[in-house]
Structures are given as structure tokens and as C-alpha cells.
Chain A
Amino acid sequence: MIELLLCAIQESQQPTWHNDIYPLMLSHCQECHDGHGAGPFELLTYESVSNRASFIVELLDAKLMPPWLPSQKGLPLQGERCMSEQQIELFKSWVSNGKLKGEGPEIIVCNEEPNTYKLSGQTNPQTPWIIPAESGIRWHEGVLDKRTFVLPIGNSGTVKANKVVYQTTAPQAVQMVGFVFDGSGQGVEVDNWDAEPGYEMMGDIGWVPSGVHGKIGPGSGGIHIPKGYYIEIPTESHLIAETHFRPTGKEEQLSSSVRIWETSESDARKLLPILTMIRRIVLEPEEQHAVEGESIQLEHDVDVVGITPRAGAECESMRLSATMPEGKEVILLDIQKWDPHYGETVFLESPVRLPMGSVITSRWVYNNSASNPRNPFNPSKNVDLARRTGIAHFILHSAAAESNDEEAILAWNLKLLRQRQRPTNNSNE
């Protein structure tokens, strides 16, 4: 694609909608802007794009669209959405050359998933949750723009899933959704406390963090586990979906459903969570550039396949890196401009082996000043927040290099969680 575009520029042909821009919209915008998805309008017709071309140029220059948080400093990731400089230049030159239409066929895009899923579940469509027109409700001093829903799956045995597709009736209001497939029954028990759909608490189940089975952002619509790996869905599961929403100015009725595909690969390997985190964060009002982090040392060889980030709105940037026993450092994931709404699970282009003894280091930079537009408080307040699964964390979705290490890795991860939980007066745990 890039080569094609370069050619087009070199030959100094004037770019047209049909030859140049429509393909760009299909590859980079259609995922969300097809008129039914997370994006607020379709961007697949000449009229729609040419009538907001200046606005699009501004957003492309600011790297706001297509939304993609990870920077190029980390390892290459699957499905990177960002547009190259050449592609941005091509769009700009189309605009400055008078937004020529050119000629070509209208292509109809059909994105139906094949109907071969193994399991499915949904919230009760008779009792949708009403997303308010604007934010305002506060709970425990936090901003209440999230709710956890419980979708019964009811599988009779464990399932090795490699794809989870999630749909909502309010795709523009729903932002990030974190998943846990819970076989313990705890989620449904909490949900049954009252007749309202879902509950106000987070989607963690005990020590299991929300997002352990992936987290989606607006438009991504699901989790696609790379070839060769799977997530295990325990028997009699419920999908616990911690759902973050951003009011759209009108009341929206939210119901959701999920479909789950099973891997056909007999030798696929199970993804296990390894958590590195900060359990508690304490910030003074107006405190900026506060750096928090921890290092953990691996006790087994693992292959890191995917990463799920978590942090609050006051966080500005984050980095996850690993130092191998022989001293080589790899940046696994680097996010310069954090936005919790787009904090989805990412999968590495190719998994990276971290041998036993590797040190995983995580680092978050916080800005608690009122000038940070994401700070919910103006003037800024003291922040003192804790969560046993991490107020900020990275989940490294990893496979054991030796399958008989799986139990030991899970036990090691749980031991670390318990250690961090110990009460301490020192906030720099």
C-alpha cells in the first residue's frame, strides 16, 4: 500500500477520491466509521469526507485519528492503526488539489463475522442499562462512568477460545470494556444483589483483574488471540464486562452480547496473566511528573504475547520494559499520551521470549494538576487510590515456555499480588 501511494506522489498525478482517498478510508477509518460502529459518522462516501476534509487534516496531524496509543518506541504490534506520514501527505494533497472525485466503482464492504462461534451470551435485552446524557454521578469520589455487566455463557466444559466478539447497542457511548471469564460464580452473585442490570463495582473478581481475558477499545469490537495461543474459559462461565462509557449528549439504552470462537489448533498454548503494577497511588494537589513503578523478576521462561495497560485519567504516559539476564533491555510497550478510553489489549507482532531471571520494569508518569484536562478535579485534589489488582498495571498475556510450569507461574503471580497487598505506610511500595 505505502509503495503504491509513494508512486502516486512521485508521478505527481493529482490524487482522487476513487484512486487514493477511498482506499485510505477503507484501510484506516472504515473499522469505526462505517455508520454503525464506534465512530460518530460514516467516512466512506465522497460527500462525507470532502465536507469535513479540513477537520480530518487537523486530526491526522494531531495523530488523534485513527486512535492508536502505543508509540513506535515499543515492539511492533499487530493491527497498528496509525497512518504513515506519506498517507497523511496524500490526504493533504488531495485537499489542496481541490478534492477531485475521479472515477471508479463504489465498493460495498461486508464485515460479517462467520457464524461458526462456539459460545455466546448476552445481557437481558428487556432491561437495558440507561447511559445518561452527560456525566455527573460520582461514587467514592471517583467519576462514575463505568458499570460492570454479567453475561451468562453457561458452557458445560472449559473452552479454548481464540476470538471474542463483543457488540453493544450503544457503540458510540461505550468506550473501553475489560473482560474476565469467571467460573467462580462471584460476579453473578454480586449482580443478583439488586434487580438493576449490572453493578457499580469494578470488574475484578478477587485477585483476578478485569482485562485478564482482554480489554477492547472503541471500535475494536473484540479480542483476536494470535495464532498458536488461546485463553481458557472455565466451565459454567459468566463474562464479567467492566464497561466504561462516555455520554454522547443523549440517553442511550445499553444491552450487550458476546460471541466466542474456539481454536482448532491442537497444539495452541494457554495465555496466563503476569501482573506488574502499582497498588496504591498518592498524589499531592498540583503534583506533576510523579513517577511510579516496580520491578519484578521472572522465575520461569515465558513468551509474552500480548499486553493490557490500565491507569487512571491522571496518568500521562507509561512504559513497560524487560531486562534479560544478560543485560539486554527491550521496551515492550510505550505509551506517550495515555487515554484510558483507548487502553485496549495489544498483541505483539511476534511473541518475545523472556528467560527466567529477566526483570520486568513498569513505569507510569502522573500529572495531578488542574491543567491536565483529564483531571476530573479543578482545583486539583489529593489523590489516594488503591486497588488490589493495581490502580495502574500491565497484564502481560504470556505462555509458559514449558507447559508444566503453568501452575507455578500462576502461583508466583498470586504470591506477588498478596505481597503487594500487605499494609504499609510507605506509598512507594
Chain B
Amino acid sequence: MVRTFFLGIAVLLSGCQHDSSQHQLLDGEAGELSVLLFTSTDCPIANALVPEFKRLQTEVEEHGGSLTCVHTWQTRTTDEIEKHEVEYGFYPESFVDTKHELVNHFNVTVTPEVVVMLFDEHASPQLMYQGKINNLFDSPGNRRDRATEHYAEDAIRNAMNGISISPDYRKPVGCIIEQMND
């Protein structure tokens, strides 16, 4: 696990606590929880989960952790993301992963996909859970009326108590992220 991962190229979009263009997304304090939500503003599968994202955000922030949306569409603009935030009433910390550094670092394949990290006593990030957020979608085109299992929520609750869950990876269902050509 990489200790610190500098995202010099990431475009910081909102959230006043970070005013540096070099966001240390994989940097945190011991015991802190960090959740990355890989998403895309026009993926209908990710959008259908926005109400769940909001609940996760509340949960994480109540416990002093942070939740960040990582936009996987390389050319997504600040305007587009802000418009989406207003439409959905969801105002997370947001990044555009213009060079797919985070996507490649975590081998993220689709949106939406979650990464739950807990910083250990050495302030080094431990991966607690990655993958599917809930079971609203069984596969693209196979959608339940509502989710009956909430994997990300379970992982976050456990992680807050320092417990990792099993399985710690579930294959996510969503819009496949196009590999970059270069």
C-alpha cells in the first residue's frame, strides 16, 4: 500500500478545507476514515445510487472521516460537476482523475465503485473494502426496485471500529471505465 499519493494533476473542485492544488488524497491521520467514490455524472447506474452516496457521506462525516467523489471521465469540467451537484442536491468533495492515476492505482473498473480506507497508527492507509456499493443493480439492465444489501455502509460501520469485513472485495456493477489510450 502506498503511503502517500500526491495527485498533482487532480483538479480540486469544491471543499474549502483544501486550498492546495496538490491534494494529498491518500494522506490522513491515524484512525481516520477515508472513502473514495469513483463516479461519473452521466452514468445512470452511479446516479441511481446518489441517495445512497448521501447516506454514506453523512455516516462518514459524523465520525470525522472524509468522503470524496473521484470523477473518472477525464474531460469532465467543473461546470458539469457543479451542475450535477445542484441537480442531485449532493455536494461532496470532488476530483477529476484526469490521468486515471487513482483509477489505475486501485484498479477501479466501473462507476460507481467504492474504496474504504482506514489510516492505521502509523497514518498509513489500509484498504478495508473495495467494490460494489449495494445490490440495487445485479448487472447492467438488471435492477432491483430497491437495494436490500448495503456493502459499503457495512464496510464503513465496521471500519470505524477498526474491523475489516469479509469479503473485502465485491465485483462492482456499473458503467465500464474506458482505458486511456496513451
Contact = CB atoms under 8 A, between A and B. Distances in A.
A134 B51 contact: yes
Interface in B47-76: 47-52, 73, 75
Contacts of A62: 139-141
A250 B140 contact: no
Contacts of B146: 134-136, 143, 376
Contact of A248 (B48, B73, B148, B178): B48
Contacts of B178: 50-55
13 contacts: A40-B44, A51-B178, A52-B175, A54-B178, A55-B175, A62-B141, A133-B88, A134-B146, A136-B146, A249-B48, A250-B89, A373-B144, A378-B148
B9 interface: no
Nearest to A379: B148
B142 A373 contact: yes
Interface of A: 40-41, 47, 50-55, 58-59, 62, 64, 98, 133-136, 143, 145, 172, 246-250, 313, 339, 373-374, 376, 378
Interface in B80-112: 87-89
A249 B88 contact: yes
Contacts of A248: 44, 47-48
A41 B48 contact: no
A250 B47 contact: yes
A181 to B, nearest CB: 30
A143 B141 contact: no
A51 to B, nearest CB: 5
Contacts of A374: 142, 144
Interface in B155-182: 175-176, 178-179, 181
A135 B49 contact: no
A58 B173 CA distance: 12
A201 to B, nearest CB: 19
B44 A172 contact: yes
Interface residues of B, number: 29
Given A55-B176, A249-B50, A40 B148 contact: no
Contacts of B48: 134, 247-249
A339 B140 CA distance: 13
A62 B142 CA distance: 12
Contact of A51 (B44, B47, B73, B144): B73
A373 B176 contact: no
B144 A376 contact: yes
Contacts, number: 72
B42 A41 contact: yes
Contacts of A339: 141
A378 B181 CA distance: 42
B173 to A, nearest CB: 10
A250 B145 contact: no
Nearest to B179: A54
A59 B50 CA distance: 23
B154 interface: no
Contacts of A172: 44
B29 interface: no
A246 B89 contact: no
Nearest to B136: A134
B138 A373 contact: yes
The residue among B138, B145, B181 with the most chain A CB atoms within 10 A of its own CB is B145
A249 B145 contact: no
Contacts of A52: 175-176, 178
Nearest to B43: A40
B143 interface: yes
Contacts of A373: 138-139, 142-144
A47 B87 CA distance: 24
Contacts of B139: 62, 373
Contacts of B44: 40, 172, 248
Contact of A143 (B43, B47, B145): B145
A230 to B, nearest CB: 35
Contacts of A133: 50-51, 88
A397 to B, nearest CB: 28
A134 B88 CA distance: 12
Contacts of B42: 40-41
Contacts of A250: 47, 50, 87-89
A376 B135 CA distance: 12
Contacts of B141: 59, 62, 64, 339
Which one of A50, A133, A246 has the greatest number of beta carbons of chain B within 10 Å? Answer: A133
Contacts of A134: 48, 51-52, 146
Contacts of B145: 135, 143, 145, 313, 376
A64 B44 CA distance: 14
A339 B142 CA distance: 9
Nearest to B111: A55
Contacts of B89: 250
A134 B181 CA distance: 36
A325 to B, nearest CB: 41
